[in-house]
Amino acid sequence: MPLREATRAWFLISLQTFGGPAGQIAVMQRTLVDERRWIGERRFLHALSYCMLLPGPEAQQLAVYTGWLLNGWAGGLIAGVLFVLPGVVAMLALSWAYVAHGDTAVVTGLFLGLAPAVVAIVVQAVVRIGRRALTHPALVLLAVIAFLTLAVLGIPFPVVVLGAGVAGWLLGRSWPGITQPPVVRDDAQTVAPLVPDDALHRAAPTARRNLTILGAGLALWVAPVAMAFVLAGGERSVFTDQGTFFGGMALVTFGGAYAVLSYVAQATVGTFGWLSASEMVRGLALAETTPGPLIMVVQFVAFLGAYRNPGDLDPLLAGLLGSLLTVWVTFVPSFVFIFLGAPYVERLRGNRALQSALTGVTAAIVGVIANLALYFAEHTLFSRTSTADWGPLGLELPVWSAYVWEAWLIAALAGILVFAARWSVLRTLGVCALVGIVLSSLT
């Protein structure tokens, strides 16, 4: 595949990556599998299975993996960078607009409409993933356990994901039929894909190759954080906090953005105080309206955190630096994971143990996203919450008298649009934003 032609295709794909990971994966499948026939469907789904097991945005990692299959290292780098570049530019512009004009009536009304719509969209994600992933009562139970351990017990997110992978592996050993994926067959009458399903990639995993990738990747990953630490005189700053926190987050973001956002929200709102819970929901609303992975919401979080804690820098410059630093430490590990692991995964196609672990993780992710929906609903539909403690158990509950009727109305409208009318995410957000502006002008 000529690299120039592949680059042009990845650029066009990057402009269509709206609607979260499901929409992004659908765009790649339609373009690469169905239309251009560059890769077979079974090969595409096998790559997706590996990316879903990794921490980080699976759609962006799938782009890196597919680019690597087509054009090697250069193809993977180009595909991965182009996949996030439009979203980075868009989120920078929106973050600046928020801090510069966030107190105007129009912007206030805009977020009044967007935030409740996000609640309905996250609930839709729970339903969609649940229908695909929870194909057996045991998997439903696994999703419920994941939800309760996060919402009530406060078990750390990485522990939940690890436990789900072990549970899936055990289920696969005891009841293999539960965790076996459906057989996907390419239509025999269609054109054969450029990368056949059964061909083995030529890259061989060697110790020298692995050490080179690990060394170069680690150096590139930590270099900006180390530079921020040195420039701060060896002292802690908002940039070192953001670099270490979001860099660590990049290693535990299993299941995509929705799955990790409750963890991010709790830390950035409660621990660091970079923004409020309602602003976290607004950030996700902005990420929903821009191309690229939904994890780009962390760029908005970092911009606000650095803007409000600039030190000796100009606030806008601090916000820009914090935003770009966060994007760097969030996405560099994704390239390392793919370049390091892809040759091994190519030799694991059809491995039942791997597929079983993936099934367990995917089932638990349904519960994790349900916990995120609960968190967003509490902080969007109500102006106050309280914490109920029962010994080691604890649960954040809304103050029912503090309901926000405008948010309830718009959330109900968004639910009708996405579930009954089956509108797209962008169309739903657009209508809800207009309704929010109208209601804000009337109250």
Q: For 331-367, what is each residue's pLDDT tens digit?
A: 999 999 999 988 887 777 667 777 788 788 778 878 8
The per-residue pLDDT for 68 is 92
CB-CB contact of 172 with 351 (8 Å): no
CB-CB contact of 135 with 330 (8 Å): no
The per-residue pLDDT for 331 is 94
The per-residue pLDDT for 219 is 96
Cα(54)–Cα(336) distance, integer angstroms: 11
Cα(176)–Cα(170) distance, integer angstroms: 9
pLDDT at 378 over 90: no
DSSP β-bridge partners for residue 295? none
The per-residue pLDDT for 179 is 62
The per-residue pLDDT for 182 is 47
pLDDT at 395 over 80: no
Nearest to 17 by CA among 47, 75, 62: 62
Q: Of residues 352 and 167, which shows the higher confidence score?
A: 167
DSSP β-bridge partners for residue 390? 393
The per-residue pLDDT for 238 is 94
CB-CB contact of 249 with 302 (8 Å): no
pLDDT at 132 over 80: no
Q: Of residues 40 and 335, which shows the higher confidence score?
A: 335
| 312 backbone dihedrals φ, ψ, rounded to 5° | -90, 0
pLDDT at 184 over 50: no
pLDDT at 188 over 50: no
The per-residue pLDDT for 155 is 80
Minimum mean pLDDT among 58-62, 79-83, 261-265, 308-312: which range? 261-265
Reading the block at residue 382, the tokens are: 């109500």
pLDDT at 150 over 90: no
pLDDT at 50 over 70: yes
Q: Of residues 171 and 307, which shows the higher confidence score?
A: 307
Q: What percent of the chain has a predicted confidence (pLDDT) above 70?
A: 88
Cα(170)–Cα(303) distance, integer angstroms: 43
Tens of pLDDT along 74-130? 999 999 999 999 889 989 988 998 888 766 667 777 778 877 887 888 788 788 778
pLDDT at 66 over 60: yes
Nearest to 52 by CA among 170, 165, 174: 165
What average pLDDT is seen over the chain?
A: 83
The per-residue pLDDT for 201 is 63
Q: What pTM was computed for the model?
A: 0.71
Q: What percent of the chain has a predicted confidence (pLDDT) above 90?
A: 31
Cα(395)–Cα(387) distance, integer angstroms: 6
Rounded to an integer, the average pLDDT of 150-163 is 79
Rounded to an integer, the average pLDDT of 243-255 is 84
